[in-house]
Structure 1
Amino acid sequence: MRKILIVGAGQSGLQLALGLQSQGYEITLMSNRTADEIRAGRVMSTQVMFHTALQHERDLRLNFWEEQAPRIEGLGVSIAGPPTAAGHARAVDWLGRLDGPAQSVDQRLKMAGWLELFERRGGQVVIHGASVSDLDVFANTYDLVLVAAGKGELVSLFGRDAARSPYDAPQRALAVAYVHGLGPRPEHPELDAVRCNLVPGVGELFVMPTLTSSGRADILFWEGVPGGPVDAFQGITDPSEHLARTLELMERFTPWEYARATKVELADAGATLAGRYTPTVRHPVGELPGGGRVLGVADVVVTNDPITGQGANSAAKCAAGYLESIVEHGDRPFDADWMRRTFDRYWATARHVTKWTNAMLAPPPEHIVRLLGAAGELPEAARRIANGFDDPADFEHFFYEPERTAAYLDELSASSA
């Protein structure tokens, strides 16, 4: 029986651990927190998982919250117009229907549940914050060591891939609040949707239905341009002050969203989070001081800004691809060439996410402004953009190049005439 060590108990680490466990591998999982500590801790993410990523969970029979989580059936885009004496109004507003429903489950709830499941099934859990020196020892004990902990000392094992990393500083300041009491969007009160609100030159507000330990909630997520008016959460440690600042900015820049948020309250004492990080692609093979090698997983090696909502989706897809590669490899050694091939298999998908995310962090060129505006009059364009969140590779066909965008819109306009 092959022995594998996975460091990190997030979406990718736990999904991969449970998948390998079901295939008969002897898995040790290192987590820096117990299940109870995860469940009682601070929120970790703003996850919305779309159809393809959810199917990977279903394939492993890990979709335990399917019936309780809000059924997200659409994705909408609103763009604020220039400020007026009465504040910002919407210059663009539309909703695209998803071909398959999406869902969001608070990772505190999901990861704690999956960690307990892994233990019940006989998996070995080590509660310990791993260091490079720890891995130097473990590399001689296990057939394969996978690093799925995207923060801390271990990330330094994986060098930055400058050719794939155009940014060397954070491009957004991030601020998250999970709340109860948000009202429905009046345009579609019976339909749950992710709402993307773009404020040119200022940042973005995302509103996402979710399931947390206290039931149905919504995530209010600001992404502020560094140094701008939404970069306003540094130094705030009081969750109530964090929420108040979130609402102040909503009232100023997205009054249509603020109108349904006047009665919200925080979901729990750990329901806020703020920070920033640099989008980075890293080389997948980490070399240890003693000569051993470890393979990076998901956001350890491909870290994207959450502006396109791809973090948990990419983690699930990475775990699924790595699972297939490990099983297919049989009893052969997990050498550096195999590690690079395994990562390359993931990068074939992840590169589309990175390209799209990096594009969305920059000011939009004119053809993208036209495309987003036209989607308000062309439901098929709205549907296609919305479903690009499930399959970002599709954006290659109509999003990046002005000529392809123009041809696509001309085709849609002709067919709807």
Structure 2
Amino acid sequence: MRRILIVGAGQSGLQLALGLQAKGYDVTVMSNRTPDEIRSGRVMSTQMMFRTALRYERELGLNFWEGLAPRALGLGFSVAGTVPGVPGVQRPVDWIGRLDGYAQSVDQRVKMAGWLDAFAERGGRLVVHAAAVSDLDFLAARHDLVLVAAGKGELVSLFRRDPARSPYTTPQRALALSYVHGLGPRAEHPEYDAARCTIVPGVGELWVIPTLTTSGRADILFWEGLPGGPVDVFQDVEGPGEHLTRTLELLEWFVPWEYGRATAVELTDPGATLAGRYVPAVRDPVGRLPSGGLVLGVGDAVVVNDPLTVQGANSAAKCAASYLASIVERGDEPFDAEWMRTAFERYWASARHVTRWTNTMLGPRSPHIRALIDAAARLQPVADRIANGFDDPSDFDDYFYDAASAGTYMSEAKVPAAGGT
């Protein structure tokens, strides 16, 4: 029985650990927290998982909360701006695309704690310890394969940044999120749940995401602000109450239609807020330990995108599924550096589409992208196609990135290519 060590207890690490466990591997997981510490801790993310990622969980029997989490049947976009003759901030663009399969969000405090419990109950070895490079140096010789699925801390230094695949060297957004109860329904399509993004030109973006948290159904209010801009105001907040107050003030100023349904919200728990920023990066997947041993990076350890396109949990699930297949197919052959790079490139074949799309959306939006977003408000198939691109970002290659392709697509869809947002 091949022995595998996985360091990190997030989406990619635990999904992979439970998948390998089901295949009969001897798996050890190192987590820096116990399940109870995760449950009672601070929120970790703004996850929203689409059809393909949810299918990977379902195939492994890990969809423990599928019947409890709200089902987002659509994905909407709005653009804040002015309308001639109408005072105040308006929505000159507002649309919702129907998803081919519902999306769901489960607070990672709920999911990771539950998956850790399941891993231990099924006979897995759980070691609660904040691993350092020296720990891996000692443990590598005792395992056939060591995988690092921790996207922060000292271990990330094992994986060198790949400048050819990493165009940004500084954070592109200042992030601030709140999990809340009490958000009212949208006036448009109140009959079903949807995740919604509002673009505020020159300011940033706001996501509103239905989720399941430790206290039941909730919504995530998630600001992505341009660094140094009017939304980048969360560095000095004193406690979660002030964090929520600033969040609501920003809603009132920049997206009053969302503020109107948020006047009665309250935080779900004392750990329901988070703020920060990080640099998107792709890293060399093979890390070399001081003793010469090798480790393979997983998920955010080697491909980390800004959460603007809510792809983090999806990418982690796809990475885990890809690595699981590569490990099983390897049989009894050694997990050498050549195999590690091949396994990563297999995953990168899909991950590159997420990185390209996210990095594009982080930058200034070109006229043809603004025209596509405008067009979706006038033609439902365009809205539906953009929405379903969140499940399969490779589809954006066909029409999203250059003006000629976008113009051809809009012309075929009988939507004027002119326009701007």
Please indicate the TM-score interval, normalised by the length of the shorter structure. Answer: over 0.9
* SS of equivalent to 2:46: coil
Structure 2 counterpart of 1:136, one-letter code: D
Aligned to 1:117: 118
Aligned to 1:277: 278
Q: Compute the displacement of 1:86 (Å).
A: 4.1
CA distance in 2, matches of 1:204, 1:409: 25
Measured against aligned partners, the alpha-carbon deviations of 1:107-153 in whole angstroms (never above 9, x if no partner) come to 00000000000000000000000000100011100000000000000
Measured against aligned partners, the alpha-carbon deviations of 1:240-276 in whole angstroms (never above 9, x if no partner) come to 1000000000000001111110100000010000000
CA distance in 1, matches of 2:144, 2:28: 11
CA distance in 1, matches of 2:162, 2:82: 38
* SS of equivalent to 1:185: coil
Aligned to 1:45: 45
Aligned to 2:391: 390
Contact 1:203/1:225 (8 A) holds in 2: yes
Aligned length: 415
CA distance in 2, matches of 1:387, 1:253: 27
1:134–1:83: structure 2 CA closer, same or farther, 3 Å change rule? farther
CA distance in 2, matches of 1:101, 1:81: 30
Runs of 4+ displaced beyond 6 Å: none
* SS of equivalent to 1:260: coil
CA distance in 1, matches of 2:62, 2:262: 33
CA distance in 1, matches of 2:282, 2:237: 30
1:15 aligns with 2:8: no
Contact 1:76/1:96 (8 A) holds in 2: yes
Measured against aligned partners, the alpha-carbon deviations of 1:168-200 in whole angstroms (never above 9, x if no partner) come to 000000001000000111111111000000001
Q: Compute the displacement of 1:83 (Å).
A: 9.0
Measured against aligned partners, the alpha-carbon deviations of 1:9-44 in whole angstroms (never above 9, x if no partner) come to 000000000000000000000000000000000000
Q: Compute the displacement of 1:87 (Å).
A: 3.0
Contact 1:17/1:29 (8 A) holds in 2: yes
Aligned to 1:334: 335
Contact 1:87/1:253 (8 A) holds in 2: no
1:256 aligns with 2:257: yes
CA distance in 2, matches of 1:185, 1:398: 30
Contact 1:196/1:206 (8 A) holds in 2: yes
Aligned to 2:419: none
Aligned to 1:127: 128
CA distance in 2, matches of 1:208, 1:275: 19
CA distance in 2, matches of 1:98, 1:217: 21
Aligned to 1:304: 305
Measured against aligned partners, the alpha-carbon deviations of 1:259-318 in whole angstroms (never above 9, x if no partner) come to 110100000010000000000000000000000000000110001000000000000000
TM normalised by structure 1 equals 0.98
Unaligned runs of 5+ in 2: 417-421
Measured against aligned partners, the alpha-carbon deviations of 1:358-413 in whole angstroms (never above 9, x if no partner) come to 00001110001111001001000000000000000000001001111111111111
Q: Compute the displacement of 1:81 (Å).
A: 1.0
1:141 aligns with 2:126: no
Question: What are the equivalent positions in structure 2 for 1:335-350 lying under 5 Å apart?
Answer: 335-350=336-351
* SS of equivalent to 1:241: helix
Q: Compute the displacement of 1:236 (Å).
A: 1.2
TM normalised by structure 2 equals 0.97
Q: Compute the displacement of 1:235 (Å).
A: 1.6
1:79 aligns with 2:74: no
* SS of equivalent to 1:228: coil
Measured against aligned partners, the alpha-carbon deviations of 1:199-222 in whole angstroms (never above 9, x if no partner) come to 011000000000011110000000
1:83–1:288: structure 2 CA closer, same or farther, 3 Å change rule? farther
Structure 2 counterpart of 1:200, one-letter code: P
CA distance in 2, matches of 1:83, 1:401: 28
Aligned to 1:193: 194
* SS of equivalent to 2:141: coil
* SS of equivalent to 2:194: strand
Question: What are the equivalent positions in structure 2 for 1:345-356 lying under 5 Å apart?
Answer: 345-356=346-357
Aligned to 1:238: 239
CA distance in 1, matches of 2:87, 2:134: 59
Aligned to 2:204: 203
Measured against aligned partners, the alpha-carbon deviations of 1:39-98 in whole angstroms (never above 9, x if no partner) come to 000000000000000000000000010111001000000001149994311110000000
Structure 2 counterpart of 1:307, one-letter code: L
CA distance in 2, matches of 1:104, 1:155: 26
Contact 1:6/1:13 (8 A) holds in 2: yes
Aligned to 1:161: 162
Structure 1 counterpart of 2:320, one-letter code: A
CA distance in 1, matches of 2:67, 2:22: 24
Aligned to 1:409: 410
Aligned to 1:176: 177
Contact 2:375/2:415 (8 A) holds in 1: no
* SS of equivalent to 2:142: coil
* SS of equivalent to 1:30: strand
CA distance in 1, matches of 2:41, 2:83: 39
Q: Compute the displacement of 1:237 (Å).
A: 3.5
* SS of equivalent to 2:323: helix
Aligned to 2:314: 313
Aligned to 1:24: 24
Aligned to 1:291: 292
CA distance in 2, matches of 1:21, 1:260: 45
* SS of equivalent to 1:413: coil
* SS of equivalent to 1:159: coil
CA distance in 2, matches of 1:347, 1:322: 11
Structure 2 counterpart of 1:157, one-letter code: L
* SS of equivalent to 1:139: helix
Identical-residue share of aligned pairs (%): 69
Structure 1 counterpart of 2:240, one-letter code: P
